[in-house]
């Protein structure tokens, strides 16, 4: 089945039509800068623009950087506060004139990894983290996604949320070099390991593209691997989850 997958991020909104059987992108990846302010209405107009530019009229899957509850945006940690409590499924469908299913960005990326990347080939529990402006998470148990985890908001013993200590944005803001930041990430992973005992960690998001610069700092018992699908994961996973809801 061919479905338009959209990945909504803080700086760009990206989309492509995906063949859900193979996870292959059938079109080029179109990127439009995220409108500012990124109100839900402005985001929906951008989704419409992407769908229109592909001449696409059917249902759409979106990954969104917030806790989602059945299509309703429940938090706004790194996004415009006007998004909170908006029924995104409803609003985006009304504005685009297509049925839109909205999911958490880390859940869609983790789901794509489970289906077409490393996580799916692993037996047992994989813990997927996407490390960017915030830290998003997904748990994949024997290839099945457990939705709505928010491991970026777990408090560390130093009193900080994991995403306020070791996100890629924190690395940039505090001008941390890779080994120093890698040691922070290691603390986060060891803490998560003590809570969830995953069989493997999969790291996605911007920072995972530089894995070789900090991997020496990571010392969990479970193996750690960078995500395989990289910037395709958000688009492909959104299309896959939308297919499940159609
Ligand atoms: C949000 C998550 C999201 C993550 C990555 C966090 O601040 O709470 O829902 O997955 O950022 O975008």
What are the pLDDT digits (tens) for 104-124? Answer: 999 999 999 989 987 777 789
Q: Which of 1, 24, 206, 7 is CA-nearest to residue 103?
A: 7
CA gap 214, 155 in Å, rounded? 23
- Give the per-residue pLDDT at 123: 84
CATH code, 137: 3.30.420.40
Residue 115 belongs to some domain of the structure: no
Q: What are phi and psi of 177, to 5 degrees?
A: -80, 165
Q: Name all residues whose Cβ lies below 6 A of ligand 1.
A: 65-67, 75, 77-78, 104-106, 130, 134, 136, 150, 152, 163
Q: Model-level pTM?
A: 0.95
The number of domains in the chain is: 2
Cα three-residue angle 28-35-175, rounded to 5 degrees: 90
Rounded to the nearest angstrom, the distance between the alpha carbon of 71 and the centre of ligand 1 is 15
Both 172 and 96 in one domain: the answer is no
Residue 240 belongs to some domain of the structure: yes
Both 13 and 95 in one domain: the answer is yes
- Give the per-residue pLDDT at 67: 96
Residue 112 belongs to some domain of the structure: no
Rounded to the nearest angstrom, the distance between the alpha carbon of 135 and the centre of ligand 1 is 6
Give me the domain span that covers residue 142.
121-227
- Give the per-residue pLDDT at 117: 86
Both 138 and 202 in one domain: the answer is yes
What are the pLDDT digits (tens) for 193-221? Answer: 999 999 999 999 888 889 999 999 999 99
Spans of the chain, pLDDT less than 70? none
- Give the per-residue pLDDT at 231: 82
């Amino acid at each position: 089945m061919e479905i338009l997958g959209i990945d909504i991020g803080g700086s760009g909104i990206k989309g492509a039509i995906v063949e859900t059987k193979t996870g292959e992108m059938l079109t080029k990846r179109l990127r439009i800068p995220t409108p500012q302010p990124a109100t839900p209405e402005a985001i929906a107009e951008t989704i419409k623009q992407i769908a229109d530019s592909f001449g696409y009229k059917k249902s759409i899957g979106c990954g969104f950087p917030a806790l989602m509850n059945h299509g309703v945006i429940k938090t706004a940690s790194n996004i415009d506060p006007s998004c909170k409590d908006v029924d995104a499924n409803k609003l985006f469908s009304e504005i685009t004139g297509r049925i839109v299913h909205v999911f958490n960005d880390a859940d869609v990326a983790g789901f794509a990894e489970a289906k077409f990347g490393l996580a799916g080939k692993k037996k047992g529990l994989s813990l997927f983290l996407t490390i960017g402006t915030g830290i998003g998470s997904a748990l994949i148990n024997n290839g099945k996604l457990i939705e709505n985890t928010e491991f970026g908001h777990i408090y560390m013993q130093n009193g900080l949320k994991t995403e306020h200590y070791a996100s890629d944005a924190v690395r940039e803001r505090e001008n941390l070099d890779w080994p120093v930041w890698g040691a922070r990430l290691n603390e986060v992973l060891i803490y998560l390991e003590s809570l969830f005992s995953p069989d493997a960690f999969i790291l996605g998001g911007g920072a995972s593209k530089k894995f070789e610069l900090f991997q020496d700092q990571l010392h969990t018992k479970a193996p750690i691997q960078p995500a395989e699908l990289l910037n395709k994961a958000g688009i492909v996973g959104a299309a896959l989850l939308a297919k499940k809801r159609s």
